[in-house]
Structure 1
């Protein structure tokens, strides 16, 4: 998935540059529309890669998953149950599934990875609204608002998945610790 996202990002950036150039040479409205469309799409893809790079470089999955920020209330968990996450969560793509592989990582490490993924997607949700500022120069505020809201909703799904799965993983970890303690 990571390679695919990087390739798509490169293609979208190339199209952005192409349509900006064509607009500069021709001043045709169609090229401006395409430049704005591809430019906004480029922003969303590049921003996601930069957020992932930032968190991987500075946090590197070393997060205290017991931190209050990552705690999930009973009500919140019930809300997630009502959304039917269990039915669709495994159908969602994962940027780098290796970080969640129980063959290569302890459950503790996976819980930390889940926290970093949550933080990354929360950051992306906030940064998804930045393109709305472009409406100041280009007009068409509704287009920027709709794309920003849709992008934020998309990444909110991944935040919800992490917040739904992590308490279940922590419960499993605690159960395993109890079992080890009993057998000692």
Structure 2
């Protein structure tokens, strides 16, 4: 199962890179504020897209032992079910795209692997939330760049990543419950045969 979303992310990142390079060259030639604004805007959007591609690649390329869902960080908190109901996570979680849908394909992956992938995806999006705020330091290096615009773009990016974290935290306890149910059925089968 290939991700159409992943291909779109890569394509948009490539377009942003081309646009950034073209407008940066134009800015260097004309030195006008409009081309500076366009260049900085394209650069910030390029950062947000490229950062997501890089962080996802980085965590996905970490081979080795699986992520441990029993770790305190990944366990369900007492308040989460109420929060999920308040935010109506069940009604929208299937409408947000999956960058790596093959990681959650029930026909190809064992449930234990899907649970581990869920933990990895949560950490991936936490790192993305933190990285979202790197552009707010741009005004230190470039005069005339609007700090508040960068701040609110970073907040918006963080909210989007938070939706993916909520999706993983909503789904993981259900996957763990199904996994334990499978394990107990398997043990019962072997004990009776």
TM-score above 0.5: yes
Q: In structure 1, how many angstroms separate the alpha carbons of the residues matched to 2:90 and 2:29?
A: 52
Residue in 1 that maps onto 2:110: 106
Residue in 1 that maps onto 2:130: 126
Query: Which of structure 1's runs of 4+ aligned residues deviate more than 6 A?
Result: none
- SS of 1:43's equivalent? helix
Q: In structure 2, how many angstroms separate the alpha carbons of the residues matched to 1:76 and 1:101?
A: 25
Measured on the aligned residues, the alpha-carbon RMSD in Å equals: 1.3
TM-score, with structure 1 as normaliser? 0.95
Measured after TM superposition, the shift of residue 89 of structure 1 is 0.5
Residue in 2 that maps onto 1:145: 151
- Residues 77-110 of structure 1 show CA distances to partners (whole Å, capped at 9, x for unaligned) of 2211221111010000000211100111000000
Q: Which is bigger in relative contact order (C-alpha 8 A, separation at least 6)? A: 2
Equivalent pairs counted in the alignment come to 184
Give the gaps of 5 or more residues in structure 1.
Answer: none
Equivalent of 2:41 in 23, 37, 44: 37
Equivalent of 1:88 in 88, 92, 105: 92
Q: In structure 1, how many angstroms separate the alpha carbons of the residues matched to 2:185 and 2:87?
A: 32
Measured after TM superposition, the shift of residue 60 of structure 1 is 6.4
Measured after TM superposition, the shift of residue 61 of structure 1 is 7.8
**Quick one: structure 1 residues 39 and 61, their matched pair in 2 at CA, closer, same or farther if it must change by over 3 Å?**
farther
Equivalent of 2:175 in 159, 166, 169: 169
5 Å-filtered alignment, 1:20-31, equals: 20-31=24-35
Measured after TM superposition, the shift of residue 59 of structure 1 is 4.3
Give the gaps of 5 or more residues in structure 2.
Answer: none
TM-score, with structure 2 as normaliser? 0.91
